Structure 1
């Protein structure tokens, strides 16, 4: 799995670029926002490597939040990489978060390839989508958070408790968070 590339841009088009890394040239699909942000020959890209039965594709992002947005979108039912990159091209990550939070179907319909039904489905499936840096990012914290949610605790309580925890594995985090939630 290729998760990042650092190299020299050999060819740049609005929706893709060729980047040379260690003598190998990769074709990387990018959003229009990423294309506008690339102005140097030497670049560092965060990538998502998609392997299909008949093809392999690399999608590159200058902004880590745009990558998070793309990765979340391609997990949705009926949203493939082309639609996800179209959404990334149409909206910056923070704009997209606002659209999702406001459930703004009209704005999402502006993306090529998304109609009213698709827009509504995407907004429903994303729910409380957020890409802010303050989100808990480690898998142990995410697993602990999901475990506590399944026990019926509210997200606010869980996040507050987990922020105070010092454990690093899921089981210990859940135990420690339960003790802290009882004190809240």
Structure 2
């Protein structure tokens, strides 16, 4: 297993606070705060230790680029999540369960339990890809990189997992509705 090169590790240690400031005041400054910037740099450190790259020619420039890209990815994920949450406010009231209707609450909980069972029943790799993309909002390219598989394999696992969950949910809901 390759280890993190000494020049890269030394640069990381020496310029840690500078990298945090770079992320905080950099191109994603309008989205970030100091805590988010520190988390981004920490995530980059953990990833570099876990999967060391080939030694770069200019370690500090490499670290700045990786940190900037990671911050942009994180901001995009947070924006996507915020849009999804905001879109729930625009749904008609009939689509949202009534807070005081126990039958609808029970039905929603049953559907959620069915979905959880469907996801849990997926093969491990499909389950991982499905959860990372559909639940955690990770980009398919990031999933491929994280799991060490090709983008095509991620797409295949996602399609198979989605289809399996859809079939299982349809069947379970059909069985519940049958007298």
TM-score by length of 2: 0.28
More helix by share: 2
Structure showing the higher strand proportion among its residues? 1
**TM-score, normalised with respect to structure 1:** 0.27
Structure showing greater Rg: 2
